[in-house]
A and B are shown apart, each in its own frame.
Chain A
Amino acid sequence: MGAQQREYKKRITSAQGMKKIFKAKEMVAASRIAKAHARVLATTPYADAITRAIGAVATHSGDVDHAFLDQERSETGRAGIVLITADRGMTGSYSHNAIRTAEELANRLIDEGKKPVLYVVGRKGETYYTFRNRPPVQSWAPYSESEIPALGHDIAQRLTDDLQSEDPEIHLDEAYLVGTRFVSRFQQVARATRLVPLEVVDAAEGEGSPQYPLYEFAPDAESVMDELLPRYLESRIVNLLLQSMASEHAATQRAMKTATDNAEQQIRKFTRLANSARQAEITQEISEIVGGADALSGSGRTER
């Protein structure tokens, strides 16, 4: 076998090996999407319940004052951004989209004269910011899929503490959440939402808004609000973490599908090239034989 052919064969084998890996990763991701999505759905009743409760408290006790509801929070001008990214690579544009959304938000905040402060989840986001010498205040990486509720609790705790902190070096005026929403297996959107100050009031204005009953609060509206708001933050964070996880799997699946297709294309291309190299070799050998035979037949006899 010629050197050229050997080279092509080597490439084909390596592409075949990679294809197997991509295919396996694609299938693993595909099977995890459904599970991750089910976990998102499982948190929905809780999130609904807490949203309704907050709406009820906010609409029926106008005198309730909570630090998180105050629309005019401007003490230090610091705005916290919680960015959710992936731990691993091979997720296509998943992490980049989230990071880009966070960067856009940060730029907008800077234009408004605020100082963005980052809290990052996932190794990809962490390395992005440490590499650019803008280390996040806190990063949670690596994290594991099974510990997302605990992770969400940690983040909510830290955020609540910083929002209520008296220290101007730590205090946050606002908090934003950047993550990837899982719309469907084929569509995931990176989006930034504001957590604090809360926007629960606008929900009650629109038509068709739910009618909240006149509740009796126990012990009283104030302490109910105090208990509910951190839980609301936590439930929002956990929900987005789970959605991001599902999105990550979907993005991985898509990226790996493309990689598998690419490997297949590569294999086809090199098979073609290997075939034509073999054919060229055969042609050359034949012409050599024919040429040699011609030369031999031509040399022996000078005349007929």
Chain B
Amino acid sequence: MSTLEVTFVSADRTVWSGQAAQVVVPAADGSMGILPRMQPTLAILDRGAVRIIGEDGEATERDVEGGFVSMDGDVVTIAVDHAARASAN
């Protein structure tokens, strides 16, 4: 089982990077889940939450606003304008 190599950057810093099993991003035309071996995709993000589920099942969540995600050969790059720690709920 392959894993995703995730780099999550905002305009001024790297928010998160490492291996993940699954990534969910708020794409412009609806929420998009990314699993290993997905086809190369470049998508625009809308306002919403980015959820990264690590290999150990631990989830990291950030509220983002605008940006894009690129997925290619199990390398996922999420670049956003703003990333804030998801409000606890």
Contact = CB atoms under 8 A, between A and B. Distances in A.
Interface of A: 39, 42-43, 45-46, 49-50, 52-53, 56-57, 149, 213-219, 223-224, 227-228, 231, 234-235, 238
Interface in B36-88: 39-44, 66-68, 70, 72-73, 77, 79, 81
Contacts of B67: 231
Contact of A213 (B12, B40, B79): B40
A43 to B, nearest CB: 6
Contact of B29 (A42, A43, A219, A234): A219
16 contacts: A43-B11, A43-B12, A45-B7, A45-B14, A49-B7, A53-B77, A215-B72, A216-B39, A216-B41, A217-B41, A218-B28, A219-B44, A223-B44, A227-B44, A231-B68, A238-B11
A231 B82 CA distance: 12
B13 A218 contact: no
B40 A215 contact: yes
A46 B79 contact: yes
Q: What 3 pairs between A and B have smallest CB-CB spacing?
A: A218-B43, A213-B40, A49-B79
A72 B68 CA distance: 28
B23 interface: no
Contacts of A214: 40
Given A53-B70, A56-B70, A223-B28, A216 B12 contact: no
A218 B42 contact: yes
Contacts of B72: 213, 215
B10 interface: yes
B47 to A, nearest CB: 13
B42 A217 contact: yes
Given A49-B7, A218-B32, A224 B44 contact: yes
A224 B29 CA distance: 12
B40 A49 contact: no
A215 B7 contact: no
Which of the listed residues B12, B28, B40, B42 has the most CB atoms from chain A within 10 Å of its own CB? Answer: B42
B7 A52 contact: no
B27 interface: yes
Contacts of A213: 40, 72-73
Contact of B42 (A45, A224, A235): A224
A49 B9 contact: yes
Contacts of A52: 70, 77
A39 B13 CA distance: 8
B42 A53 contact: yes
Given A215-B72, A219-B28, A49 B77 contact: yes
B37 to A, nearest CB: 13
B79 A215 contact: no
Contacts of A43: 11-12
Contact of B79 (A42, A50, A149, A218): A50
Interface string B24-35: 000111001000
Given A223-B28, A228-B68, A218 B41 contact: yes
Contact of A218 (B29, B73, B81): B29
B15 to A, nearest CB: 10
Contacts of B13: 42
Given A52-B70, A213-B72, A46 B12 contact: yes
B28 to A, nearest CB: 6
